[in-house]
Structure 1
Amino acid sequence: MGVFRAWGRVFGGSRRGLGTHPPPGDAGFGTKARRQLSPRGSGKPLGPLGDRPVPGLLRTDSLSREELAAVLRAAVVDQKGPLVTLNKPQGLPVTGKPGELTLLSVLPELSQSLGLREQELQLVRAPGKETSGLVLLSSCPQTTSRLQKFFNHSRRAQRPTATYCAVTDGIPAPPEGKIHVALALEHIDGVSLVVPVKSPSRKNIVEGVKRTLSHFRVMATGSGCALVQLQPVTVFPNQLQVHMMLQLCPVLGDSTYAARVGTVLGQRFLLPAESRKPQRQVLDEVLLRRLHLTPSQAAELPLHLHLHCLLLPGTRPRDAPTQLLAPLPPYFSRTLQCLGLCPQ
């Protein structure tokens, strides 16, 4: 496909800072990346968690502003010049109501802890609350403007700048392709949900319907699940979750859209959005055993969607884009090991 790059280097915690160019022709997993994904230690399968919670979850409701700022300070992936990149924990909202603990609300404390006294950090790009991964911050308004222009130009040219990895319940078929679908945000029983729109008219587009596009590629399969690489070309709320749901392969841990995928006699089908309210994803007993999770632990299973690579413009106009990588959360790595999802 030509748009999938730098995938393997994120696994095992490797990362690249600013000013590092993606090597030409690096289109997938190399031998080193495959070794990094293999289970380490004794080689025995992972055991049950017992009474322990799913590893790597952040409980923001029990943190103070100072404690959250310290968590984010420890999550910094790269700091160079005015740019700061951190690996956002899953479950941390980026914005919220006044008084709520969010990423934006603790930027003053984070800026101070990083020694940025003259210019406070501002948000350039970040994944949503339930998604983990790269957050791009800048303390320079000119740099922020330059990056936003780069992202907007890349979007208009249909060049993806963000690469996500996901674990899906189900294996997409075909294993590689593009997902084109019009989406709209609707209020159903008091809940804002994204729904597909068939054959949208011009009036629909004016009224908020948007044509969306994502690239996808299956990188590994096991236990009826898949490790999938996703690159959105457009930007729409919950776009990747909805795109995978439309493939009848919802993202593992999706408590919003997975309920729209029904099963009868082993065959999956799509249910109308109006007929299914958001609810905890129901996993079959075989998958729960492979994940070594109790039903109560499965109810807390986080969304397995991680923004692991961002492309940024080079220093000079003709320079190749640079890339930033973020390692996977502990629960994501554990799931890959339990399901044997190692790219070949």
Structure 2
Amino acid sequence: MADSGQAPHCLMLPAGSAGLRLDRALAIALPTHSRERLKTLISAGEVEVNHAVARDPAARVKGGEAIRIRLPEAREAEAVAQDIPLHIVFEDEHLLVVDKPAGLVVHPAAGNPDGTLVNALLHHCAGRLSGIGGVARPGIVHRIDKDTSGLLVVAKTDPAHRGLARQFAAKTVGRRYLAVVLGVPAPPTGRIETNLARSPANRHRMAAVDPPRGKHAVTHYRVLEPLRGAAAVECVLETGRTHQVRAHMAHIGHPLLGDSLYGGRRVMGCGIGRQALHARTLAFRHPLTLENLEFESQVSGDIQQLLIRLKL
């Protein structure tokens, strides 16, 4: 095993892992790490099974094996400035609010090294963004999915970043989403409260799990308008977890139209080409001036057209 300079992680595979591929068994045992990354580490000789280096990700396990694995810290790539058009709805010396189009990734990551919102912000702000998010995520206080459109706030200075982060942690930031979902939720208003964690069956999905696993997540929903086989729903976030609206609406049996990850074939064929989700309003207190700010984004054109087509 190579010496990466980091203490190895040791664990015992549960008996229920018997018959699984090694990479899949490790992905279940280490849910914070992707199966692809674990597969790469196995192939690189960074994993020992019962004190012997294992290099075959497809090897079947029996359950009960002692695992020793080195998990080198992933190094962030420094983002570069790129001249990408931005729709900025508010800006001062401390922060800015962006109306993000669907299809734009928020920050560089594996598979999206550039062409992101961060690359655009670095160009627009001439590099003057808060460094708290790290070199790959300067200024980023919160995120919305690539294929979700709408509002998010970005910090230009570290004091602004810290002040906004405190508000998100205290759940005082107002965030309202417009979603178009399959069917009409009943009752027409409700509160969805679960813990959310990566699904062991599909690492790209979040799933409701029993505590203490996962992170506490709360979404309030309200049916705005029943549609033909669907409904326009307002979702208010009390917490901000990965895929929260998408996972929660699917959890109660009403996945978003266009969201094949959570709704499968049932929600496709609506002609939108992405999940029908728009971050419509954003409200917070300015962390330096203490002014109460609220912004509203016009619903994107593709969702507007979807609503017209589904009118009763």
TM over 0.5: yes
Residue 154 of structure 2 corresponds to residue 137 of structure 1: yes
Partner of 1:184: 197
- Which of 232, 254, 263 lines up with 2:237 in the alignment? 232
Counterpart of 1:330 in structure 2: which amino acid? G
Give the alignment's TM-score, normalised by structure 2: 0.64
Partner of 2:273: 301
Query: What is the CA-CA distance between 1:304 and the residue it aligns to?
Result: 1.0
Query: What is the CA-CA distance between 1:165 and the residue it aligns to?
Result: 0.7
User: 1:186-232, CA deviations, whole angstroms, 9 ceiling, x for partnerless residues?
Assistant: 3426x4321222xx24xxx2xx4223211000011121211100012
Partner of 2:253: 248
Counterpart of 1:195 in structure 2: which amino acid? A
Partner of 1:106: 120
Q: Is the CA contact (8 Å cut-off) linking 1:151 and 1:161 kept in structure 2? A: no
Summarize the alignment of residues 43-62 of structure 1 with structure 2, pairs less than 5 Å apart. Answer: none
Aligned in 2, Cα 1:142/1:219: closer, same or farther, shift over 3 Å?
same
- Which of 207, 210, 224 lines up with 1:219 in the alignment? 224
- Which of 176, 195, 200 lines up with 2:207 in the alignment? 195
- Which of 162, 176, 197 lines up with 2:175 in the alignment? 162
Instruction: Find the aligned partners of 1:188 and 1:303 in 2 and give their Cα distance.
Output: 21
Provide runs of 4+ in structure 1 moved above 3 Å: 116-121, 279-283, 314-317
Partner of 1:36: none
| RMSD (CA atoms) | 2.9
Give the alignment's TM-score, normalised by structure 1: 0.58
Counterpart of 2:150 in structure 1: which amino acid? G
Aligned in 2, Cα 1:168/1:139: closer, same or farther, shift over 3 Å?
same
Partner of 2:309: 338
Aligned in 2, Cα 1:125/1:195: closer, same or farther, shift over 3 Å?
closer
Counterpart of 1:329 in structure 2: which amino acid? S
Aligned in 2, Cα 1:123/1:183: closer, same or farther, shift over 3 Å?
closer
Counterpart of 2:284 in structure 1: which amino acid? L
Instruction: Find the aligned partners of 2:179 and 2:89 in 1 and give their Cα distance.
Output: 20
Residue 85 of structure 2 corresponds to residue 71 of structure 1: yes
Query: What is the CA-CA distance between 1:65 and the residue it aligns to?
Result: 7.1
Counterpart of 1:124 in structure 2: which amino acid? V
List gaps (5 residues or longer) in structure 1.
1-63, 260-278, 289-297
Greater relative contact order structure (CA < 8 Å, 6+ sep): 1
Judging by fraction of residues, say which structure has more helix.
1
Summarize the alignment of residues 86-101 of structure 1 with structure 2, pairs less than 5 Å apart. Answer: 86-95=98-107, 96-97=109-110, 99-101=113-115
Counterpart of 2:122 in structure 1: which amino acid? P
List gaps (5 residues or longer) in structure 2.
1-79, 132-137
- Which of 211, 214, 221 lines up with 1:209 in the alignment? 214
Q: Is the CA contact (8 Å cut-off) linking 2:149 and 2:277 kept in structure 1? A: yes
| Count of residues in Structure 1 that have an aligned counterpart in Structure 2 | 225
Instruction: Find the aligned partners of 2:237 and 2:157 in 1 and give their Cα distance.
Output: 27
Instruction: Please identify the structure whose Cα radius of gyration is greater.
Output: 2
